[in-house]
Structure 1
Amino acid sequence: MGIQPRGYRLSSLPTALEKPLQFFYEYIRSERELSLHTQQNYKRQLSTIAEQLVSFEVTDWTMVDAGWVRQIASKGMRDGLKASSISMRLSALRSFFDFLVQKDILKANPAKGVAAPRKARPLPKNLDVDEMDQLLSVNEDDPLSIRDRAMMELMYGAGLRLAELVSLNVRDISLSKGDIRVIGKGDKERIVPFAGLAREWVANWLKVRGALASGDEVGLFVSKLGTRISTRNVQKRMAEWGQKQAVSSHINPHKLRHSFATHMLESSGDLRAVQELLGHANLSTTQIYTHLDFQHLAKVYDEAHPRAKRGRR
């Protein structure tokens, strides 16, 4: 029968369900030589699936089609399983069905085309306005401190991605116009406005940049080695400033970008404008960044769109 995991109890299954499982367990033990841990996981998942199929009055693996596989995934969701657990369950089922196809018990693998539910994307955290003021109150006048404040002011003031920040060249900044040429994801170019303290501190940095930058370096922000600063260096410096300024939460570049989006939306309520500023291709991405839910969007649409007002008196 092969190795049974600790706590594993063989249930009374119909022979047409039970026998192929035992062949599979022996196969992963002796031929594939999977680890004991993996064998136990496969047995646990497949045992649960087989018992569910019995409850669905499915008594033979040849009766299982893609619809039944989706039922298994749906039941996992109803039972409160995480997306990662359902994905693991479906992975075990695919491997088992591949074995049955190999043994000519099935003609095709019915689990191949069934996707696991997407893992929930955790909402990024933002700093409130007071925390941003605390972080950005950097008054040291050495070139590295001026550079760091300019980078943080620009990320928060223009909502840049980390990769966009480090790839900026001096020629991409126009202090007179108050705008930046940014190359975003997919090499898409956008022009982003920046003003106020962001503009002021970029100007301060440009005055001292020559003390650090190599003569032929075109990058806007440079390290103490004189070359374009790396993403890792930016992450490290921002985390250090978060600690130095006694900000309660860990500081990273994305948190500044998300704070920009959140504060802009709270002040303006203009989701489309924030989408353009962030360089998002899809409005749904901006919706996630800004903590909005669909009900809020629907309400805005109903109140604002001319065609949504039809029938109102």
Structure 2
Amino acid sequence: NIAGRIIMNTAPVTISQSIERFKIYLLENDKSLNTIKSYSQDLNYFFKWIQQRYEPPHLISILTSTDLKDYERHLKSDSTIAPSTINRRLITLMKWSEFLVTIGSTYINLANNIKIKKVQRQNNIRWLTRKEVGKLLHAIELEKQQNYKKGVLHQTIVYLAVNLGLRVQEMCDVKLADIDVQRSILRINGKGDKYRIVPMTENTKEAIDNWLKVRDQQSDYLLVSSKSNYITTRAIQHIFKKYSRQLGIEITPHSLRHTYCKQLAQQGVDIQSIAELAGHSSVDTTRIYVTPSIRELKDALKKTEF
């Protein structure tokens, strides 16, 4: 294992080397590429701050808990950084500090005294109204008149997100073998290799059926592009950017997934069931859909304003 290999290396370790090893450690522990990228960016901010504080070489051995505490004060005193960003950077620093102890680069956790900034939880999640989803589906119907095959693909992608709540990667990964038309269910191998089953709606089944009738490629995957037998997340995001520009509405695969969860909550579906359907590992993630959003609070204020 990676920790064992690093402990055996007794040579002085620089901060930048430890960050690279931390990234390898995260990769070997099945962290997503997005998570690793986020941790890397956060630690690079810290490293740049250290570079201004000390002359090279920037060895791990020069760091003390005072340095990390001073960095915490630096972040919290910067009014241009959102509290959520400050907390994310501090949490990254904590995880990295734990890693340094694990591999024997430090004997104590340098981040022991760091405290997360207390923030009142407010719901900034963006979901679409039924009217906005209607505008999107109308634009896709017009697309079908110009290019039927492309329009049916776009409709299928939208329904997978807004009617079944699939993440963008989950949409790309759906295989024909995952679709059980007789039982009206779809099997999903989701985030973190978590398997779940979601019921298929009639409109979604019809869209999938129409898509399978017009697609040309032979592929084990449901969604294919004009150039490949597997559609990428980037290609799907590009499709939504096109409709966002066309309609003047911010539409992303994730905002449609949020819309799916919000619609369930508004129909009185219990929080545990929503978590199961969406593949959330914790109901705390699901709780945002039963909490008023900033937009909903603004609309409420418009009705009560003097």
| TM-score normalised according to structure 1 size | 0.58
Change (3 A) 1:110 1:205: closer
Among candidates 169, 179, 185, match of residue 179 of structure 1: 185
Q: Give 1:241's match in structure 2, choosing from 230, 243, 246.
A: 243
| Structure 1 residues 21-61: Cα deviation after superposition (integer angstroms, max 9, x where no partner) | xxx999825x559xxxxxxxxxxxxxxxxxxxxxxxxxxx9
Q: Is there any run of 5+ residues in structure 2 with no aligned partner, and where?
A: 1-49, 59-63, 94-106, 293-306
Please list the CA deviations of residues 76-98 of structure 1 after superposition, one character each: whole Å capped at 9, or x if unmatched.
9799884656868xx8xxxxxxx
Mark the CA change 1:158 to 1:77 in structure 2 (over 3 Å): closer, same or farther.
same
Q: Do the aligned partners of 2:76 and 2:86 also contact (CA within 8 Å) in 1?
A: no
Query: In structure 1, what residue type is equivalent to 2:223?
Result: F
**Matched letter for residue 127 of structure 1:** L
The 10-residue stretch of structure 1 (77-86 or 112-121) with the greater mean CA deviation from structure 2: 77-86
Give the counterpart letter for 2:244 in structure 1: G
| Residue of structure 1 in register with 2:267 after alignment | 267
Match of 1:198 in 2: 204
Shift in CA distance, 118/170, structure 1 to aligned 2, threshold 3 Å = farther
Structure number with bigger Rg: 1
Distance 1:175 1:109, change over 3 A: closer
Q: Which has the higher contact order (CA 8 A, sep 6+)?
A: 2
- Aligned residues of 2:240 and 2:251 also touching (Cα < 8 A): yes
Give the corresponding residue for 1:19: none
Distance 1:271 1:110, change over 3 A: closer
- The two structures, once aligned, show a CA RMSD in angstroms of 4.2
Residue 269 of structure 1 and its aligned partner are, at CA, apart by 4.0
Q: In the TM superposition, what is the alpha-carbon distance from 1:285 to its structure 2 partner?
A: 0.9
Give the drift of 1:283: 0.6
For each residue in 1:190-220, what CA deviation from the matched residue of structure 2 results, as whole angstroms up to 9, or x when unmatched? 11001132222111111112xx313xx2110
TM-score (norm 2): 0.59
Q: What is the 5 A alignment of 1:216-255?
A: 217-244=219-246, 246=247, 248-255=248-255
Q: Identity across aligned pairs (percent)? A: 25
Match of 1:213 in 2: 217
Whether 2:165 is the aligned partner of 1:166: answer no
Stretches of structure 1 that go unaligned for 5 or more consecutive residues are: 1-23, 34-60, 92-107, 294-313
State the AA in 2 paired with 1:213. Answer: Q
Distance 2:52 2:125 in 1: 45
**1:94 alignment counterpart:** none
Distance 2:270 2:110 in 1: 43
Q: Which residue matches 2:130?
A: 129
Match of 1:143 in 2: 149
Alignment correspondent of 1:40: none
**CA apart distance, 1:112:** 3.2
Q: Is the 8 A contact 2:265 2:290 kept in 1?
A: no
- Per-residue deviation, 1:237: 0.8
Equivalent residues in 2 for 1:78-97, closer than 5 Å: 82=83
Distance 1:119 1:254 in 2: 27
**Contact 2:264 2:274 survives alignment (8 Å):** yes
Aligned-pair CA distance for 1:147 = 0.8
Shift of 1:149: 0.6
